[in-house]
Chains A and B, each alone.
Chain A
Amino acid sequence: MLGKDLCKFKIAGADSVRLGDAFRRGASRRDVMRLLVAGGVSVGVAGALATSVETAYAQTPRRGGRIKVATSQAATSDTLDPARGLSQTDYARFFTFYNGLTTLDETMTPQLDLAEEIAPSERAAVWNIKLRRDVRFHDGSPLTSGDVVYSLSRHKDPAVGSGVRNLVAPMEEITATGPHEVRIRLGAPNADLPAIFGTWHMAIVKDGATDFRTANGTGPYKCQEFRPGVRSIAVRNEEYFKPGKPYLDEIELFGIPDEPARVNALLSGDVDLVNGVNPRSAQRISSAPNVTLFETRAGGYSGFVMRLDQVPGSNPDFVLAMKHLFDREQIRRAVYRNYAVVANDQPIDPSHRFYNPNVPQRPYDPEKARFHLQRSGFANQTFPIVVSPAAANSEEVAQLLQQASKQIGLNLQLQRVPADGYWSNHWMKHPIFFGGITPKPSADLVFTLNFQSRAAWNESGWRNERFDALLLEARAEVDTNRRREIYGEMQRLIHEGSGVGIPVFGSYLDAHVSKLKGLRPIPLLGLMGCNFAESVWLDQ
């Protein structure tokens, strides 16, 4: 935007950068005009130029203001314990009150947060972490290595009931080697450890904390009030270690589970930011004058899963037939109203740094599907598909699949089951069903949790030794280019052999009042990967 404005007045590149820098360093419009006039620009042009540059750089955050945020889930199970968090509401609160050792940026590359330095040694089997020395908890006590050791080790304790016990289990030794140094020895090398530290579960709590009725963390806001299932109120932490942040005075966070009610609350001015907007409500929001839609493209999907160890998935021709029946453009248009990205039956989305663009895009090809179906011997047979509201949009996608399969001589019956208890009672327990994942901070995690042969959540039961070997090799590899090659081949393997059909990657849609600024998409979840609290400000 700045570049286009300056081009109108034909200023050279270096000068435009100098002007921008001047504004960033706090020059006023008059100072910039003086610069320009001194450089030979006429006063009239200088005035217009300074205005256009100023509006472009008026995006410097302002302090102050209170906002109300409504999220899609609120239940008595809301918690301030990072080990037990389950919903986006919980995750948003974790990032409001706590920090992690790292944080993930827009490309999901880990950036240092509480840690000053994270250095691998012994081929990524040992990690040495140096903590910042200027961080204090909300109760005034300083951050030490004991807090980090406690926060990470507690996930291993079965009494804590942590949901990420399996992620922390490979960290065999977590020891404090100094007041601000921690050393972690892994059972097997893992170059992605910094990325794991950026997730919400790995928030750092005070050493010995067991009472999570309030949050004593290092985060940008202090917890003034927390009532599970009702709301939380966060007030600015004046001693936050990042100067100038946070910008807002107060954030009130509560849940409105009903989506139309949530959208109506935003449109009527009762709340300032909502998440979980259905694509079908997007038009109402786009047409409202003071409300903006915020799309985050990420790697979450609802997958069409065929168990490879049961009929009919055990027949590779059948699997190929089904994968060719996805009219991905139609799904993207009709089901997701264009708020999705076409996928290629493998779980790494185009925004990911290790995405392999060379895997040939599987098209919608009913002829090929018919050919494979005939070869499989399952033509003119009937198969049930289990769908549920728990797997987002599964019913709609299954209906489109049903129409397409009728044309090639296959009958698919939809078996609808309720969302309640879906993941415990139906997921992975039928020959054909819908599953899905939420985005993960690293490709390694997706592959390990959902596609490795022995993984508990290997939805289709796919077994590929080469894939498993590559997985271990990439995990220990510190060189990014080599990792990219290995992950590229793994994506190809999944695309060709796995029983999971991934038609699109659904985007996360949030909406906010237009004067709320500072939101940037982080492809982990909506609301900036739930890490919005530190970055948003009100332009009032």
Chain B
Amino acid sequence: MNIALVRLVAIRIALALLTLGFVSVAVFVGTEILPGDVAEALLGQNATPEAVAGLRTVLHLDQPAYVRYFLWLGGLVIGDPGRSLVNGVRVAELISSRLPNSLMLASVTAVVCVPIALVLGITSAIWRGSVYDRVASFLTMLVVAVPEFFIATLCVIIFAVRLRWFPALSYATGIVSLDQFFRMFALPVFTLCCVMTAQMMRMTRAAVIDTLRSSYVEMAVLKGARPIRVVLTHALPNAIGPIANAVALSLSFLLGGAIVVEIIFNYPGLARLLIDAVSTRDMPLVQACAMIYCAAYLFMMMLADIAGILSNPRLRYR
């Protein structure tokens, strides 16, 4: 579109690759430092020295750490993230069976949560100081202060066990009807929304209040513009930068932070895969999941920055 944008994206991508490399080293070192390895973790209480040694040789764990790291890195560069140490299945296969689930949950939550948070934030900003503002803020803060697993478990007990409106487990294979889809996702999405709304709403509210204080908004009011037009056409476009940042931060939490929801609703997502992999010290899988989270986070940040630039004509046409 223009030079500044293209240059920004290119620099960002280069930095992202560097960050990913650094993260991979950090994750590898972190998992190595943890006591125990795959062989011990798999055998548990049955770990006799011979059984552990036997399993180690089979899994090539007797090679030094840096050799294993570079072997893995080499594989990744040519596009092969390796095989899970625990069950020999290709990492790409394992992830490709879980990543779409996580993305689905994240997208549905985003589609539900972001509009609600934005509307709440903007209306609270418009009617700041009123009863509505105070109640909205209080409720969102209350809901975010309650732990996720409590909300989720409460929902399951009330809506799944007592009322039987929704299922307690959120997974089905094959094609599901729209009605089934809605029922399955209702409780997990509700739980995740409770967690995420507060931050986005408060940030939106603060950003819009800030722009509403500026002189051009005062000018628009003096001109006689209707309040809705003042907010939507004059104030909001200038508040997009901080709002986009807040939204991006919250959404990047969704991919990995949905672990509690995944556990309680038995949803086969990426976060549970990562937890499994760490408990069994399954290095290739841990690395792959960490790379995905890191890349997703960096991507969301880049989108937020681009949105900020695009919304500011001064930066757009330089």
Give the distance in Å from the alpha carbon of A27 to the alpha carbon of B165 in the complex: 45
Contact with B along A433-445 (1 / 0, CB 8 A): 0000000000000
Knowing A261-B264, A265-B266, A268-B168 touch, does A158 contact B285 (C-beta < 8 A)? Answer: no
B184 to chain A, nearest CB (A): 11
Could you tell me if A261 and B280 are in contact, using CB atoms closer than 8 angstroms? no
14 interchain pairs, CB-CB under 8 A: A75-B276, A76-B84, A76-B87, A76-B276, A84-B42, A159-B58, A160-B54, A161-B54, A165-B48, A166-B50, A261-B266, A264-B160, A268-B156, A425-B35
Instruction: Tell me which residues across on chain B come within 8 A of A269, comparing CB atoms.
Output: 164
A324 to chain B, nearest CB (A): 28
CB closest chain-B residue, reference A233: B173
Interface residues of A in 160-197 (CB under 8 A from B): 160-166
Knowing A76-B87, A423-B47 touch, does A261 contact B168 (C-beta < 8 A)? Answer: yes
B82 to chain A, nearest CB (A): 14
A77 interface neighbour in B51, B156, B168, B280, Cβ under 8 Å = B280
User: Which of A161, A166, A267 gathers the greatest number of chain B CB atoms within 10 Å?
Assistant: A161
Could you tell me if A86 and B264 are in contact, using CB atoms closer than 8 angstroms? no
B87 interface neighbour in A79, A164, A420, A421, Cβ under 8 Å = A79
Chain A residues touching B, majority SS: loop
Instruction: Tell me which residues across on chain A come within 8 A of B58, comparing CB atoms.
Output: 158-159, 161
Instruction: Tell me which residues across on chain B come within 8 A of A254, comparing CB atoms.
Output: 266
CB closest chain-B residue, reference A213: B89
Instruction: Tell me which residues across on chain A come within 8 A of B282, comparing CB atoms.
Output: 76
Q: Is A209 an interface residue (CB 8 A)?
A: no
Could you tell me if B86 and A165 are in contact, using CB atoms closer than 8 angstroms? no
Knowing A79-B87, A158-B50, A427-B45 touch, does A421 contact B40 (C-beta < 8 A)? Answer: yes
Interface size class of B (residues with CB under 8 A): 35 or more
Could you tell me if A76 and B273 are in contact, using CB atoms closer than 8 angstroms? yes
Instruction: Tell me which residues across on chain B come within 8 A of A84, comparing CB atoms.
Output: 42
Give the distance in Å from the alpha carbon of A267 to the alpha carbon of B160 in the complex: 9
CB closest chain-A residue, reference B46: A163
Could you tell me if B268 and A229 are in contact, using CB atoms closer than 8 angstroms? yes
A154 to chain B, nearest CB (A): 12
Contact with A along B160-180 (1 / 0, CB 8 A): 110010011100000000000
Instruction: Tell me which residues across on chain A come within 8 A of B34, comparing CB atoms.
Output: 421
Could you tell me if A258 and B273 are in contact, using CB atoms closer than 8 angstroms? no
- Nearest 3 A-B pairs (CB), nearest first? A158-B54, A161-B55, A268-B160
Give the distance in Å from the alpha carbon of A424 to the alpha carbon of B281 in the complex: 13
Chain B residues touching A, majority SS: helix
Instruction: Tell me which residues across on chain A come within 8 A of B45, comparing CB atoms.
Output: 423, 427, 457
Could you tell me if A76 and B48 are in contact, using CB atoms closer than 8 angstroms? no
Could you tell me if B280 and A257 are in contact, using CB atoms closer than 8 angstroms? no
Instruction: Tell me which residues across on chain A come within 8 A of B153, comparing CB atoms.
Output: 260-261, 264
Residues of B within 8 A of A (CB): 34-36, 39-51, 53-55, 57-58, 84, 86-87, 89, 94, 97, 153, 156-157, 160-161, 164, 167-169, 263-266, 268, 272-273, 276-277, 279-280, 282, 285
User: Which of B43, B94, B168 gathers the greatest number of chain A CB atoms within 10 Å?
Assistant: B168
Q: Is A78 an interface residue (CB 8 A)?
A: yes
User: Which of A265, A268, A456 gathers the greatest number of chain B CB atoms within 10 Å?
Assistant: A268
B45 to chain A, nearest CB (A): 5
Q: Is A485 an interface residue (CB 8 A)?
A: no
Could you tell me if A165 and B51 are in contact, using CB atoms closer than 8 angstroms? yes
Residues of A within 8 A of B (CB): 70, 75-79, 84, 86, 158-166, 227-230, 254, 256-258, 260-261, 264-265, 267-271, 420-421, 423-425, 427, 456-457
CB closest chain-A residue, reference B44: A423
Could you tell me if A86 and B276 are in contact, using CB atoms closer than 8 angstroms? no
A337 to chain B, nearest CB (A): 20
B51 interface neighbour in A161, A229, A271, Cβ under 8 Å = A161
CB closest chain-A residue, reference B59: A161
B94 to chain A, nearest CB (A): 7
Give the distance in Å from the alpha carbon of A256 to the alpha carbon of B170 in the complex: 12
Could you tell me if A261 and B279 are in contact, using CB atoms closer than 8 angstroms? no
Instruction: Tell me which residues across on chain B come within 8 A of A265, comparing CB atoms.
Output: 168-169, 266
A513 to chain B, nearest CB (A): 14
Instruction: Tell me which residues across on chain A come within 8 A of B43, comparing CB atoms.
Output: 86, 163
Instruction: Tell me which residues across on chain A come within 8 A of B44, comparing CB atoms.
Output: 86, 423
Give the distance in Å from the alpha carbon of A267 to the alpha carbon of B34 in the complex: 38
Could you tell me if A270 and B167 are in contact, using CB atoms closer than 8 angstroms? yes
A538 to chain B, nearest CB (A): 20
Instruction: Tell me which residues across on chain A come within 8 A of B279, comparing CB atoms.
Output: 75, 420
B224 to chain A, nearest CB (A): 58
A303 to chain B, nearest CB (A): 13
A76 interface neighbour in B36, B94, B160, Cβ under 8 Å = B94
A415 to chain B, nearest CB (A): 16
Could you tell me if A162 and B51 are in contact, using CB atoms closer than 8 angstroms? yes
